[in-house]
Amino acid sequence: MKLDESTVERIAQLSKLEFNTEEKVAILNDMNQMLDFIETLQEVDTDNVEPLIHMTEDVNVLRADDAKTTISQEEALTNAPSKDSTYFKIPKVLGKN
Amino acid sequence: MLNEDAIIIGRLNCDEFAMGSSNENSIYGPVLNPHDLTKVPGGSSGGSAAAVAEGLCLASLGSDTGGSIRQPASFCGVVGLKPSYGRVSRHGLIAYGSSFDQIGPLTNNIEDAAIIMEVIAGQDDYDSTSSNEPVPEYSNSLKSLPKSLHIAVPSEYLNSNAIDNEIKDDFINKIAQLKELGHKVKEVSFPYVDSLIPTYYVLTTAEASSNLARYDGAHYGYRSKNSKDIETTYFKTRSEGFGLEVKRRIMLGTFVLSAGYYDAYYTKALRVRRLIKDKTDELFKAHDLILLPTAPTTAFGLDEIKDPIKMYLQDIFTVHANIAGNPAISIPLGNHTNNMPFGIQLMTNKFEEEKLLACASYMMNELN
């Protein structure tokens, strides 16, 4: 299959990424090439084959339900681009409308 | 490692979010190959391989999602081990493809790799996929080896068009030496070779698109100066912060997970993954080892490979172990007439790192 520009725009929207006109052409071309490449999977017969979802063979690994501090508030905020006392600080979310 | 008094002397360059096979996708610039500064060190853990090769440190850690420890090890002439899925905790590792990622050592010799594995392997409360399978004393069992090894060589790998002639000849020569030493080497069929990289790209891009959703400009990392509200915080931060290869993979991953395409691409790849895993498990019922090249070529030049798909094909021999979850090691046994090193790769059944390291140690000593 071939993607068109509108699909790329929709996928970019879902990915929270934006591309200028030039980049859009390039990414459309790259994605179409990659789709051609992964298309070969359709030739593999997978009738009656269940998807492989878990890579470990462990079943029900449980732990005691004890409350513990695994990361302090201060540590959690160490890499925040912006913070205010004990909070992450972000641009205003609510508008006037 | 810190608990065992390891001295950490630095952090090393790698491809952005571990996405790349040449260490050229880095905001810090490319790492150069210590054997030839006009060549790449491989990737994504290129800095880790180059640092060990150049003697800047005794050993390093890398991460391997599709070959990112083993291919740079091959390009730089060092030992690189990707453990079984679940053998080493990923706590502290930035996630790329969570059902593939493993941390492992890059070292000058097998003994160092074994010693490091004894320390880093094992269950960890901070990574629920880490296995509670007991950790053997790898470094004490490097000599314990069956008299006669049963080695499988998938003919589809050997006959791959991608492989450099000299690397192929050397590989055939190694097989002959192993036979002469009394081991049984059997050519077997692994019919999914052409599906490996497509399966890998569908699943890892899908997982990456989900994992990298956490880069939202709120909790850590970069936030765009142009963030005005919630949408611009996301869009500007991510578009300015991520490099081209990362965006490419997020886009493909989002596409294969999107409504209408999920079953055709994502679920399909999960089904093929099961076939690959089952066939691999079957091979290990009758064989101790699968022997294969590490990379199709020696280190290539900086800026030489520009086509993304050509770059992806660098992982043709290494993704198998990640897709199936097996441990694999690259050992530096090859010297090309172009003066660059290259590795040979050994893979064993899951959680057989003990056997893998013993076989690798044996081959380092016996083969030339």
Asked if residue A35 belongs to a domain, the reply is yes
Which distant-in-sequence residues (6+ apart) come within 8 Å of B210 by Cβ? B253, B257
- The verdict on a CB contact (< 8 Å) between B275 and A42 is no
Interval B90-128: pLDDT, tens = 999 999 999 999 999 999 999 999 999 999 999 999 999
Task: Check residue B261 and give its pLDDT.
Answer: 95
- Going by the DSSP 8-state scheme, the letter that residue A39 receives in this structure is G
Which of 188-207 (B) contact A at CB < 8 A? 192, 194-195, 197-199, 201-202
Buried b / exposed e along B107-127 (16+ C-beta atoms within 10 A): bbebbbbbbbbbebbbbbeeb
CA distance B347 to B42: 20
Please give the average per-residue pLDDT across A9-17, as a whole number: 97
**Closest to B1 in 3D by CA, of B107, B158, B155:** B107
Asked if residue A9 belongs to a domain, the reply is yes
Asked if residue A17 belongs to a domain, the reply is yes
Confidence of residue B194 (pLDDT cuts 50, 70, 90): very high
**Closest to B49 in 3D by CA, of B67, B62, B36:** B62
CA distance B334 to B68: 19
Task: Check residue B340 and give its pLDDT.
Answer: 98
* Chain B residue with the nearest C-alpha to that of A19: B239
Q: Give me chain B's average pLDDT, please.
A: 96
Looking at chain B, the whole-number percentage of residues with pLDDT higher than 90 is 95
CATH code of A36's domain: 1.10.20
Please give the average per-residue pLDDT across B46-69, as a whole number: 98
Q: Which domain holds residue A20?
A: 5-42
CA distance B20 to B315: 10
Instruction: Answer for the pair B180, B214: CB distance below 8 angstroms, yes or no.
Output: no
Task: Check residue B133 and give its pLDDT.
Answer: 94
- List chain A residues with CB under 8 Å of B240: none
Which of 7-36 (A) contact B at CB < 8 A? 7-8, 10-12, 14-19, 27, 30-31, 33-35
**A97, pLDDT greater than 70:** no
- Going by the DSSP 8-state scheme, the letter that residue A80 receives in this structure is -
Please report the ipTM that was assigned to this predicted complex. 0.94
| 3-state SS track over chain B | CCCCCCCCCCCCCCCHHHCCCCCCCCCCCCCCECCECCECCCCCCHHHHHHHHCCCCCEEEEEECCCCCHHHHHHHCCEEEECCCCCECCCCCCCCCCCCCEEEEEECCHHHHHHHHHHHECCECCECCCCCCCCCCHHHCCCCCCCCCEEEEEHHHHCCCCCCHHHHHHHHHHHHHHHHCCCEEEEECCCCHHHHHHHHHHHHHHHHHHHHHHCCCCCCCCCCCCCCCHHHHHHHHHHHHCCHHHHHHHHHHHHHHCCCCHHHHHHHHHHHHHHHHHHHHHHHHHCCEEEEECCCCCCCECCCCCCHHHHHHHHCCCHHHHHHCCCEEEEEEEECCCCCEEEEEEECCCCCHHHHHHHHHHHHHHCC
CA distance A3 to chain B (A): 10
Interval A37-81: pLDDT, tens = 999 999 999 999 999 999 988 888 888 899 998 889 999 999 999
Interval B261-320: pLDDT, tens = 999 999 999 999 999 999 999 999 999 999 999 999 999 999 999 998 889 999 999 999
What superfamily does domain B2-147+291-366 belong to in CATH? Amidase signature (AS) domain (3.90.1300.10)
CA distance B261 to B267: 9
Q: Is A6 on the interface with B (CB under 8 A)?
A: no
- List chain B residues with CB under 8 Å of A44: 192, 195, 271-272, 275
Please give the average per-residue pLDDT across B5-27, as a whole number: 96
Asked if residue A95 belongs to a domain, the reply is no
Structure-model confidence comparison of residues B173 and A58, the more confident one: B173
**Closest to B250 in 3D by CA, of B238, B240, B259, B262:** B238
Task: Check residue B14 and give its pLDDT.
Answer: 97
Q: Which two tokens stand for residue B54?
A: 């150049």
- The verdict on a CB contact (< 8 Å) between B275 and A27 is no
**B136, pLDDT greater than 70:** yes
CA distance B200 to B190: 16
* Chain B residue with the nearest C-alpha to that of A47: B271
Task: Check residue B147 and give its pLDDT.
Answer: 86
CA distance B18 to A87: 31
Looking at chain B, the whole-number percentage of residues with pLDDT higher than 70 is 100
Q: Is A56 on the interface with B (CB under 8 A)?
A: yes
What's the whole-model pTM score? Answer: 0.96
Task: Check residue B10 and give its pLDDT.
Answer: 95
**B85, pLDDT greater than 90:** yes
Beta strand ranges found along A5-92 (DSSP E): 83-84, 87-88
Q: Which two tokens stand for residue B147?
A: 């008299």
Task: Check residue B86 and give its pLDDT.
Answer: 97
Task: Check residue A57 and give its pLDDT.
Answer: 83
Instruction: Answer for the pair B301, B22: CB distance below 8 angstroms, yes or no.
Output: no
**B79, pLDDT greater than 90:** yes
Split into its structural domains, chain A has a count of 1
End-to-end C-alpha distance for chain A, whole angstroms? 42
Poorest-pLDDT segment among A64-73, B167-176, B185-194: A64-73
Determine the Cα angle at B104 with ends B100 and B105, to 5°: 160
> Mutate which of A27, A45, A48, A56 to test chain B, going by most B C-beta atoms within 10 A?
A56
